[in-house]
Structure formats: structure tokens, C-alpha cells
Structure 1
Amino acid sequence: MPTVSELLDAMDGIVHQPTQQHDDRVDLTVTEVYEIEAPGRVDFGGGELEAAELVAHDRTWRNDDDEYQWWHLDAGQYLIEYNERLDIDERAVLQIRDELRARGALHPTLHVESLSLVPLSVGGAGIYLKENARVSTLLAGE
């Protein structure tokens, strides 16, 4: 597993490094939330492979003087996109932050060398996410 410094060296688009960097991990922030508007296709041989049609989820202002908008996500499935980009040779472990899990949202733990869209499941009454919220974390080794 890469160290924190190796992760940081392999990343672009960090919103605020002093907040996102920790001794054992680097937090990732959300830049966009997508809904799946039309299904994709997956077949055995890959000849009929087709991407799903995505649409950006609406954002709203919580307060008139806010600098960033919010997503109100009802219970369901979404895809999230990060501000940060990663390009590293050694796989890193990507997992949901405890703050989201405690509020009924989760995504799978993944082993990644780059960052792409990640499925987010929201349960119960939903969740409010602010633009640039720290939603995931990349774990680091020693």
C-alpha cells in the first residue's frame, strides 16, 4: 500500500490539503453526483457493452450567503465523481468515510490505481451532501 506522501505525489485536484491529509489516509471530496437515467448493457463477450446514460443531480442553495450548493439525495443509487485525480502504480484502498456511513450512505471498498465514478447507495430518508464534502478516503501504508 502506498504511503501518504506517495498518494499526495500521485494526486491532482486536492481541494484543501491540510484538511484532507492525515497520518494514515487522504480524504477525497465530491465534485459531482450523477443519477442513472438509462441503463447500460453488459454481455459475455463485450461486443454489446454499452455505458449507462448519466445525468448530473440537481443542487440547491441552503442559505443565500453560502459559497457552495448542496445535493439532496433521496434513498437510491447514485454515482459520485471526485475533485481529486489519482495516477499511481501501486493499488490504494478506497473506502467510505465514517461520517457518511453513520448517516446511512455507503459505497464499496475498492482497490484503485486511478479514480473513476464510484457507486453510492443512500438509504432511509436520504442525505444532504455539500459540494466538496469529504466523502471517501484513500488508506495509506507505513
Structure 2
Amino acid sequence: MLSADTLAQQLNGLVHLATQRAPNGIDLTVDSIYRTTGPGQLDFGGDEFDAAPREPLTPVLDAPEDDYAWWTLEEGAYIVRYNESLTLHDEQKARISPLERTLHAGAHHGTFVLDDGRNPLETLLIVSRMGCRLKENCRLSRLTVRE
């Protein structure tokens, strides 16, 4: 598994490496959130694939003097775009999984593996019936990379 310092060299858009560094990877942070507005479409061959349409959600300040705003998410599915983008080298595999704190806050996303880099880097976030608030740049997921 790559160290956080080595992995940081393959990421663009890190918010604050000292805070995002983890013993076994780097925490990914939220840049933007989108609500899906209709169905996507999958077929066998891929010629008729359509991504679900989406609209951006605007975070709201709790108080005018605050530096960062919050997204207040109701139950449902959302697309999260991370601040970070990833470059992978040959034979590297990346794994992205939700942080335990994400689960305790009432949201989750599937763990997934990448064998090529991503820009933008996104995931589908599922929010429980109680809802969840996410602050701009919050740490949501853990990225690890193996050679």
C-alpha cells in the first residue's frame, strides 16, 4: 500500500494534506454535490448508456460570518464530486471507501476499486431517512492505493 506522502504526489486538489493524511491512505474531501433529477440508462453493449441527469446543490452558510457553508441533504441518492483527482500508474489499484464517521452521520457509499485515474473523481452517496449535513470540504472517504 502506498504511503500517504507517496499517494499525495498522485493527487491534485488536496485541501490540507496534514489533516487528510491517514495511516493507510488519504481522506478525500467534498467539492460539490448534485441531486439526480431523473433516471440513468444502462444497456448490454453500452451504446445506449446515459448517466442520470443532475443539478448542482448550493451549500448554505449557517451564519453570515462563517467561512464555509453546509449542504443539508434529505433521504435519497446524491452524486458527490471530490476536490481531489487521481492519477494511477501501471499496475496500481485504488480503493475508495466511506469513512466510519460518514456512516455514523447517516450516509454511505459503496466501496469501489479503480484501475485508472479519475478527473473528476465522484461517488454516489446514499443518505438515510434522517438526512445528513455535509460541510464544504468535509472528509467523506478514504483512498488507498496498492501497487
**Structure 2 matches for 1:100-139, cutoff 5 A?**
100-112=102-114, 113-115=116-118, 116-139=121-144
**Structure 2 matches for 1:1-142, cutoff 5 A?**
1-89=1-89, 90-112=92-114, 113-115=116-118, 116-139=121-144
Moved more, 119-128 or 1-10: 1-10
Unaligned runs of 5+ in 1: none
Once the two structures are TM-superposed, the CA of residue 2 in structure 1 deviates from its matched residue by 3.0
> Considering only aligned residues, what root-mean-square deviation do their CA atoms show, in Å?
1.7
Q: Deviations over 1:91-120 (max 9, x none)?
A: 121110111101211001111243432010
- The alignment's TM-score, normalised by the length of structure 1, stands at 0.92
Distance 2:99 2:11 in 1: 19
Once the two structures are TM-superposed, the CA of residue 130 in structure 1 deviates from its matched residue by 0.5
- The alignment's TM-score, normalised by the length of structure 2, stands at 0.89
1:46–1:141 CA distance, 2 compared to 1 (3 A): closer
Q: 3-state DSSP class of the match of 1:139? A: strand
Greater strand share, structure number = 1
1:74–1:2 CA distance, 2 compared to 1 (3 A): same
- Shift >4 Å, 4+ stretches: none
Q: Deviations over 1:20-53 (max 9, x none)?
A: 0122220110000111112221111222112221
Q: 3-state DSSP class of the match of 2:37? A: strand
Once the two structures are TM-superposed, the CA of residue 6 in structure 1 deviates from its matched residue by 2.9
Q: 3-state DSSP class of the match of 1:15? A: coil
Distance 2:3 2:18 in 1: 16
Distance 1:107 1:51 in 2: 18
Q: 3-state DSSP class of the match of 2:101? A: helix
Once the two structures are TM-superposed, the CA of residue 69 in structure 1 deviates from its matched residue by 1.0
Return the letter of the residue paired with 2:117.
S
Unaligned runs of 5+ in 2: none
**Aligned-pair identity (%):** 33
Partners of 1:3 and 1:141 within 8 A in 2: no
Distance 1:41 1:94 in 2: 24
